[in-house]
Structure 1
Amino acid sequence: MSLHLVSLSPFPSKLYTPKNFPTKCPRLCYSTLRSQISQIERPSPNYKPTIWTHDFIMSLKVNNVDEELQERAEKMGEEVRRVMDEVLIRPWQVLEMIDEVQRLGLGHRFEDDILEALERVVFSIRLDNIVASPHKCGLVFKLFRQHGFEVSQDMFSHLMDENGEFIPTIQNDTKGILSLYEASSLTFDGENDILQIAKPFLIKCLKNILMAKEDCSLSEEVSHALELPLHYRPPRLEARWYIEECRKTRGYNDFLLDLATLDFNMVQSLYQTELQEVSRWWKDIGLASKLNFVRDRLVECYIWAAGVTPQPQLSKARIGLTKVSALITIIDDIYDVYGSPDELQLFTNVVKKWDLDGVKDLPDYMKICFLALYNTVNELGYDTVKEQGVNSIPILAKKWADMCEAFLVEATWNSNKVTPSLKDYLENAWVSVSGSVILSHAYFLVTQNITNEALDALQNYNDLLRWSSMIFRLCNDLGTSKAELERGETANSILCHMRESGHLELDSHDYIRGLLDEAWKNLNKNINESHNISRFGKPFIEAAINLARISQCTYQHGDGHGSPDTKSKNRVLSLIILPLALHGQE
């Protein structure tokens, strides 16, 4: 039986446009309000305290890489560039190196070189001359899609029989099957979908490889890919995994692995310094210590920020997005578990007005929260005015207001024990998941040349924001629905589909996973559309897809943000805390 999917266009037809907001950015002192938090008997979700205390974070000894190692990395980088320059002589070898460079987390060092090499291949060599095998087909398709080049799935037609199915002999080609499977995650909605049609066959072949338990050097990669394709994984976390995996077979005598290890530790030391900076900010504003009902998840919020903007040159963006994510988490808890309906309406109104007149009417715990929000967003907006002459505050304030209104809708549903239709739920939930707030801030934090066209697209909830947020929402629901159902919440996509269709929970999970696959295809299409690339610029395009990736990773095995488990802890350890051993250190 084929899976029938609900149309994934459940968005408000009304286009959002910001109202006039004050351009002044006064900063108020938090200390006058901290003593006013009243002790009211209220429900508590009993969230676990953070294991990453401020003292622990500040005790980290930043793993600075000395000048000699940095010079060594630069010399190895020149060797990589030398090989890439030979793309017209050895095109296939260069394409394989590009893939290796990217998987090892080195793409940020060679962005221009990679793009130039791929352009030279496109304009100088017929692709069908180097894609004879399934592995080559899959890799070429993946690389060119990743970098926005136009490439059709028709390139796979020579691997098909007269019935439109892959020829049987390829199932004995593990590397080829794996390559085609990875390529299938980059397909678009509406194109000739050879790979999507063949995906069940590719998955079956990969599972058979694992079940056979034969000596296969690719077994770990096959298992890793079946859990989550490379295209859906956050780049820096994937780099750590791949470096350690390659060491098992190559040891320490591979110069690319040496360079990747050096680079990983350099970026990690930068991450440690940034985390210490935001931890000082978090302690200073005192929200987690004063509002004892909220989740203290600063380090997890930093992981989000590093997932969205992993490139080392985007330090300012990671610091800003960590603050944004921490505030989103606090406000989400106010709406989900603590605020009364009247209080939530008051708070929503104050955020919509974005001024200080209504603060006096808020309960004390909301005052400190709103002022933290107000000061933080205005400070970020001030930086944009100072550096680029663009007032971002009206757009940012409107995004926060829209998210709070969506929070209020969900709180009302839960308060009244209402389960909406799946369509009504998704119309609201892609906004409430906060992706648009995160990405709107990200645009101003990563973009050097802000354009009016991009500002209009942000205000009108461009599809790039919508599909990235939809992936965020569906992953969130798949990871948190069990706990939400146990708490008695009435609105998430799993429950809405169960009530609407009469299906069991597992069937509804499968249905939502089908919607998630469709959302990825729509996001893939949007990030590759030339008008989006020219409108937003590459850094923001990457932030949009990286938000989807960190969402997929965080909720893959449960609620990795709200209820961190061992996998969440290991993400923090591998990305921020534990460096990779350099050659000669083991």
Structure 2
Amino acid sequence: MASEGFDHSKNEIGQPAQSFPSLWGDTFISKNIDTHEVQVKYDESVAPLREEVREMLMAKESKTSTDKIALIDILERLGLSYHFEKEIDEQLELIFRESSASNFKTMEKYDLFNTSLLFRLFRQHGHIIPCGVFDRFMKDTDEDLKSDIKGLLSLYEATGVRIQGENVLEEAITFTTCHLNHLRSEIDPLLRERVSRALLRSIHREVPILVVRYYISIYEKESSSNELIVRFAKLNFNYLQSLYQKELFDLTRWWRDSNMSSKVPYVRDRIVESYVWGVGMNYEPQYSFARTAVAKAVQLIAVLDDTYDTYAPLEDLEIFTQVLQRRKHVPPFEDIVSLGLVTSTLFMLVSASYLIGSATQQHFEWLMSKPQIAVAMAQFCRYANDRATNERESNDGGENLTAVDCYMKQYGVSKEEAMNKFAQLAEDLWMSVNKEWVETVSVPRQFLKPILNFGRLTVACYDKGEDGYTYPERVMIKSQILALFVDPI
């Protein structure tokens, strides 16, 4: 791309080249972990704990339905659910059959907290349940309901799995947000912390592994916490962290050996941040190869993106500028949306996440057929990314037309109006994903999860319109990396 004698301090149109060096130095290359030794110690420590928790989960007489759904929720938040996938599915299936057989009338015995929790868990596990189970609560707006903090929080989190047309849940968002904000200052600090985090991002949009570290610190302080489960969760997290550290060691060496930072110094050096996407899509220990493949793909995409967006050849930019000056042509926004299926990188990265032992050609063919859940999520992520990266990619000089620019010009609206429209479109698409999540039965849920997690990562990385991949310190990605990969519990 570069001509002989190219000055890397400037790009090819004479603008100062912005540098994005790694924030991590030798942090992840200073220690090579013996994962075999870690595995042996872990297996010895957790085997009895795992069996005790399994007994809790499968107990028939000592546990009520509400006890079991609460336990399932705790295990999922603590990152322990992968140990009990079969058992959790069995328990939820039993409760769902009982509820659906009565047309969900049996759920009337549950209070707001448990109704909301069960509704969310059912949908998150692919069970179709009507939103009408909330009608009786939304008609009852007395003071008892308004002061039920845990119930309101559970209902708020249930709204995260809503689909288009569920007016009762749309009303619930407004209702719960208003009262949770009003009561937040009056509740104990531990519950206040949970409410504040949920209002920032509901549990269904959280990246599972990012929840784990946070929730361990919350759960162990709760008066109702189970000491055995706390111990299991901490051992499990430290074990996962050791695996991640080994994978980061290998990835950092791979990136350094490529010498890309010297060959293309303008590229964002973000191999560690790229690995967050690998872990976020598949955090369970058996998916090491998939995590590494995703991380490498994300970093290499950044190389291409930075080269084409910011350092395209001078002659190409001159031709492009001449065309714009002659024709004043702006691509139709609809074309940008269609192109977003590719530029969101969802299909590429989800394909990389399928590099696991159980994936077959059929699963890749299903993904390449552009199923609606993947299309909707790709478009959601494109809108979120465009809102966050618009400022950087606009390049001040205006050589690069962004999707926001195209929308503004086509519809004659301000930047603020365009940004708000993108947010609205993204919200509608997330609800489409929720619908497809429960209705897609042609592939195992294992192959849907990376699609959902891709969207969750986009929410975390591009939160509040910030580009957390390029500037990880702005949206707490840096602090989350420290918590996940550096600091043990």
* Secondary structure of the corresponding residue to residue 116 of structure 1: helix
Q: Distance in 2 between matches of 1:415 and 1:93?
A: 69
CA distance in 1 between counterparts of 2:51 and 2:79 reads 16
**Residue 155 of structure 1: how far off its partner (Å):** 1.3
Structure 1 residue aligned with 2:452: 545
The one-letter amino acid paired with 1:142 is: R
Name the CA shift for 1:446/1:69 in 2 (closer, same or farther; >3 Å): closer
Of 458, 463, 467, 2:372 maps to 463
**RCO higher in 1 or 2 (8 Å CA, sep ≥ 6)?**
1
- Aligned mate of 2:23, from 51, 55, 58: 51
The equivalent position to 1:243 in structure 2, one of 203, 206, 216, is 216
Corresponding residue for 1:367?
Answer: none
Cross-structure match for 1:171: 146
Q: Alpha carbons of 1:294 and 1:481: their partners in 2 closer, same or farther (altered >3 Å)?
A: same
Is the 8 Å Cα contact of residues 294 and 333 (structure 1) preserved in structure 2? yes
Counterpart residue type for residue 563 of structure 1: Y
Alpha-carbon separation, structure 2, partners of 1:341 and 1:457: 41
Distance 1:290 1:234, change over 3 A: same
Q: Distance in 2 between matches of 1:76 and 1:578?
A: 23
Matches of 1:194 and 1:274 in 2, distance apart?
45
* Change in 2 beyond 3 A, CA 1:336/1:166: farther
Structure 1 residues 287 and 244, CA, compared in 2 at 3 Å: closer, same or farther?
same
* Deviation at residue 539 of structure 1 after TM alignment: 2.2
CA offset at residue 252 of structure 1?
Answer: 8.9
Quick check: 2:216–2:234 contact (8 Å CA) kept in 1?
A: yes
Give the direction of change, closer, same or farther, for the CA distance of 1:416–1:544 in structure 2 (3 Å limit). farther
- Go from structure 1 to structure 2 and tell me whether the alpha carbon gap of 1:295 and 1:217 turns closer, same or farther (over 3 Å shift): closer
The answer (yes or no) to whether the contact 2:381–2:426 under 8 Å persists in 1 is no
Query: What secondary structure, in the 3-state scheme, does the structure 2 residue paired with 1:265 have?
Result: helix
- Offset of 1:546 from its aligned partner? 0.5
Which AA in structure 1 matches 2:237? Answer: F
Distance 1:133 1:228, change over 3 A: same
Q: Does 2:134 correspond to 1:160? A: no
Matching of residue 185 in structure 1 with residue 93 in structure 2: no
Structure 2 equivalent of residue 442 of structure 1: 353
The secondary structure found in structure 2 opposite 1:40 is coil
CA distance, structure 2, for counterparts of residue 83 and residue 94 of structure 1: 8
Aligned counterpart for 1:526 among listed residues 416, 427, 436: 436
> Does structure 1 residue 314 correspond to structure 2 residue 292?
no
Q: Structure 2: how far apart are the matches of 1:49 and 1:498?
A: 33
Tell me: CA distance 1:176–1:331, structure 2 relative to 1, closer, same or farther (3 Å): same
Please report how far the alpha carbon of residue 501 of structure 1 lies from its aligned counterpart in structure 2 after TM superposition.
4.3
Is 1:141 matched up with 2:119? yes
Matched residues in 2 for 1:255 and 1:466: separation?
42
Report if aligned partners of 1:304, 1:550 keep a CA contact under 8 Å in 2: yes
Deviation of 1:144 after TM superposition, in Å, equals 0.8
Distance of aligned partners of 1:324 and 1:206 in 2 relative to their CA distance in 1, 3 Å threshold = same
Match of 2:91 among 112, 117, 130: 117
Task: Give the 3 Å change call, closer, same or farther, for CA 499–117 of structure 1 in structure 2.
Answer: same
Secondary structure, counterpart of 1:277 in structure 2 = helix
Cα 1:70/1:501, change in 2 over 3 Å? same
Query: Counterparts of 1:264 and 1:572 in 2: how far apart (Å)?
Result: 14
- Confirm or deny: 8 A CA contact 2:309 2:393 kept in the other structure: no
Q: Deviations over 1:27-61 (max 9, x none)?
A: xxxxxx9xx984324345413211223x4321036
> What is the alpha-carbon distance in structure 2 between the residues aligned to residue 428 and residue 188 of structure 1?
25
Q: Give, in whole Å, the separation in 2 of the partners of 1:238 and 1:107.
A: 13
2:332 aligned with 1:425, yes or no? no
Deviation digits for residues 343-374 of structure 1 (CA, Å, limit 9, x no counterpart): 79xxxxxxxxxxxxxxxxxxxxxxxxxxxxxx
Of 464, 467, 471 in structure 2, the residue corresponding to residue 563 of structure 1 is 471
Counterparts of 1:413 and 1:317 in 2: how far apart (Å)? Answer: 42
Distance 1:251 1:273, change over 3 A: farther
Aligned to 1:475: 384
Structure 1 residues 101 and 324: alpha-carbon distance in aligned structure 2, compared to 1, 3 A threshold: same
State the AA in 2 paired with 1:103: R
In structure 2, distance between residues paired with 1:198 and 1:221: 18
The whole-number CA distance in structure 2 between the counterparts of 1:173 and 1:429 is 43
Q: Give the aligned partner of residue 255 of structure 1.
A: 228
Residue equivalent to 1:364:
none
Q: Which residue of 2 aligns with 1:39?
A: 5
Is the 1:294–1:330 Cα contact (8 Å) retained in structure 2?
yes
* SS class of match (1:550): helix
- Indicate the residue corresponding to 1:510 in structure 2: 420
Judge conservation of contact 2:159–2:173 (CA < 8 Å) in 1.
yes
Structure 1, residues 244-298: CA drift from partner, whole Å, max 9, x if none?
1223445997221111111001001001111111222222222222111211111
8 Å Cα contact 1:87-1:117 kept in structure 2: no
2:57 matched residue in structure 1: 84
The change in CA–CA distance for 1:223 and 1:437 in structure 2 (over 3 A counts) is same
**Tell me, what secondary structure is at the counterpart of 1:58?**
coil
Equivalent positions of 1:219-368 (< 5 A) are 219-250=192-223, 254-340=227-313
Percent identity over the alignment is 29
- Bigger mean CA offset, 149-158 vs 505-514: 505-514
Q: CA deviation at 1:201?
A: 1.8
Moved more, 81-90 or 285-294: 81-90
The 8 Å contact of residues 447 and 539 in structure 1, kept in 2 or not, is answered as no
CA contact (8 A) 1:446 1:540 kept: no
Q: Post-superposition shift, 1:168?
A: 5.9
